[in-house]
Structure 1
């Protein structure tokens, strides 16, 4: 499902549809186009199973990105009745002034029929012009139908046939204004699903409305018209099992499910832990600290002294550690906000602080300037940055090149067993990097065993 622009109601409509399908007992898989971490959390809360990101840029672009997207869709939908993909931004909006990595590009890559979610508030016949314009902007738009958001039943019933006649597309229902079902936002997008205490009540209300006003059977007919996916699969190797401690709590919750799944396929056992509430790391051979909102829990992170010290000592003793954005921030010595300073893990010298706006935003290509935990000098992977904080020690192990732009800057701290920085990567963008991380964890595990063996009388 796509839209003319952000804020049209895609997430609301998708969640309403997912909840309704779940109540009907129909097994559904949800996906999100683009690098957004938060919308998939809502999908997962509704369905009770993970939602997955599809990002043609992060997957490598062109043929490689298409192959990966098709492989992941096939992997996750083998025994489901329907796959629902939520688009990003406006339907044709991709990198800079192009449609690269857009919802339109993804629809073409996976041959999926597209349904527009359009905001009908304050519009009548002009809505048909908008819908038709989007559908005909490209001859291969894949747009086949539309759902109108923020209109009453009487308005929809009056204009439905007019909109259909003028656009040649299928009207698939509407959602009225539902003030008590609005999802709040903060600086990185919507607040996370876990923070909404009445989320289940909201989703039930949305599903009840969708039952009355969304043409689910029409959507299912469109889905059944999609052709079978064909692709040349990427063969994933598997090695000796290792345990990877993954920070998962309110402060650290930004992960691509398929990246974690890739580690699992390669032999990793994912062990969740909480830097907020756990006293120490679980028994593990490596650490993965993802992004999230550590700034909202700065005091609690500081107060958990045992965890901070445990992580720092584990890294100092050679345990491999990967940190992204919020995880990178936590690995620094201090966090400063509102004239207060909080002590954090201290595995990397330096401080970080929130700023008044976005520091670096958008897609980049990372090129290694030195050998690191994940790769050798000269190797590259695509990434995404989106953060309102900055640090005094962002690192210089990589150069970030702005996608389709001329800007570049040094980034990411990398030394020995530690790699951490602001960019978010998707390990499916270069599975070799995931393998290298796990190989480092295996070597660490072997070294620890040998050390213990030598100490045994």
Structure 2
């Protein structure tokens, strides 16, 4: 089984992504084929992994995928790699609740039998970093914390104080990253800016990785990765093939897709055709349409000006083409998007509601019961996902039909999600197709449409 290591933080915003891509960059320079992973529901951080490794990074999330789905995805993605680097989410033990480790980085470490490198922001501490590290080592002894990387170190003297303290608890220090405000990844309201949105961010990722990798002991990191225990995997055989053409909206506005989702569609027999709602005038000839999340509010003016595309999407929707849209895709299909500054832009107008950007973050795992059959699931099914956005839907229309009744999460109005119109489903909820029935149902709807 592939050598692997998890880069975990004591909290969010300690530099996990920067340190992860630095390790990936150093490994590639040593000739390793590196597979990146991100714990949790995140579309942005994996784009930095992909930029550095040249391989599509994957997500690992037990809530979305189930434990078997996590292990299977890890195996499938890393089978031809030399070493896997797995970036954690939030703090090491932060997951679905405070009761246990479910859906946390620690949960993934146990599932994948992987050792953990703990990242500590040392900016406002010295000897106390040892107390922090010791607490993480003892909180759950079954999680193997094998080393520490200190970020935001002021200088050599500060580093020496921290290292001397960590020696007392017998934990290896794999790196001390000197503070440098000029070497930082760019952020905005949903975290880092995706690399697919602006080409210069790929250069910035390399710059950050090159600065940090020189301050990390990569040989010790490799040695830790090689300690990972063997995993037992059952091969996932897919026999069903559903021939259908699916158009995928992919550009600087819409790029929140789990790579596994696209691969699963392909494995089921779909042909994927990509297009840009920002730059293209027409949708490719297809049997169905998948509009993922992203940042339509950032380029709302350009989306509005592309009236040919707005009309094209509305036309295929009213014609009954199966359309599945998530978050940013939902926003695009509403009547309008109002930016943070109050500027209002017309959108597809499939749903008689408006999207309004909101400074309040909605961030949840979600669970819903299907109350109206839709293109991905029949009435009565239970669906899990997640939501992550700074917008709200003005749902004043009395004619709204919802697919989902929420057991967990906020959705559109606090109790429902998944707007339905014609053969379109659009929700704030993002899903992972580890449960292949969702993808199968969508492709079956596409195939039926192709024959109408």
Shift of 1:152: 4.9
* Correspondence for 2:137: 135
- The question of whether the paired residues in 1 share the 8 Å contact of 2:129 and 2:166 is answered with no
Distance of 2:342 and 2:222 partners within structure 1:
55
Residue segments in structure 1 that go unaligned for 5+ positions in a row: 60-64, 448-457
Equivalent pairs counted in the alignment come to 437
Shift of 1:160: 6.2
Shift of 1:272: 1.2
Q: Given the two structures, how large is their TM-score scaled by the length of structure 2?
A: 0.92
1:298 and 1:408, CA in 2 relative to 1: closer, same or farther beyond 3 A?
Answer: closer
Helix, strand or coil at the partner of 1:441: helix
* Correspondence for 1:308: 310
User: Aligned match of 2:278 in 245, 257, 276?
Assistant: 276
Shift of 1:369: 0.6
| Structure ranking higher in helix proportion | 1
- Alignment pair present for 1:417 and 2:418: no
1:395 and 1:139, CA in 2 relative to 1: closer, same or farther beyond 3 A?
Answer: farther
1:223 and 1:311, CA in 2 relative to 1: closer, same or farther beyond 3 A?
Answer: same
- The question of whether the paired residues in 2 share the 8 Å contact of 1:373 and 1:414 is answered with no
Shift of 1:188: 0.9
Please list the CA deviations of residues 175-205 of structure 1 after superposition, one character each: whole Å capped at 9, or x if unmatched.
1112222112111111122345543443444
Distance of 2:358 and 2:163 partners within structure 1:
50
Please list the CA deviations of residues 421-450 of structure 1 after superposition, one character each: whole Å capped at 9, or x if unmatched.
11111111x210110001111111122xxx
Shift of 1:310: 0.7
* Correspondence for 1:257: 259
- The question of whether the paired residues in 1 share the 8 Å contact of 2:351 and 2:421 is answered with no
C-alpha RMSD of the superposition: 1.9
Distance of 1:345 and 1:162 partners within structure 2:
61
Helix, strand or coil at the partner of 1:202: helix
Distance of 1:408 and 1:341 partners within structure 2:
24
- The question of whether the paired residues in 1 share the 8 Å contact of 2:48 and 2:205 is answered with no
* Correspondence for 1:454: none
- Alignment pair present for 1:46 and 2:52: yes
Shift of 1:336: 2.6
1:294 and 1:79, CA in 2 relative to 1: closer, same or farther beyond 3 A?
Answer: same
1:426 and 1:263, CA in 2 relative to 1: closer, same or farther beyond 3 A?
Answer: same
- The question of whether the paired residues in 1 share the 8 Å contact of 2:363 and 2:388 is answered with yes
Shift of 1:294: 0.5
> How do 1:16-415 residues align onto structure 2 when only pairs under 5 Å count?
16-59=22-65, 65-98=66-99, 99-152=101-154, 154-155=156-157, 158-159=160-161, 162-195=164-197, 198-337=200-339, 338-358=341-361, 360-393=362-395, 395-402=401-408, 409-415=415-421
Q: Given the two structures, how large is their TM-score scaled by the length of structure 1?
A: 0.91
* Correspondence for 2:433: 427
Shift of 1:302: 0.9
- The question of whether the paired residues in 2 share the 8 Å contact of 1:107 and 1:114 is answered with yes
The worse-fitting range, judged by mean Cα deviation, of 127-136 and 222-231 is 222-231
Residue segments in structure 2 that go unaligned for 5+ positions in a row: 1-6
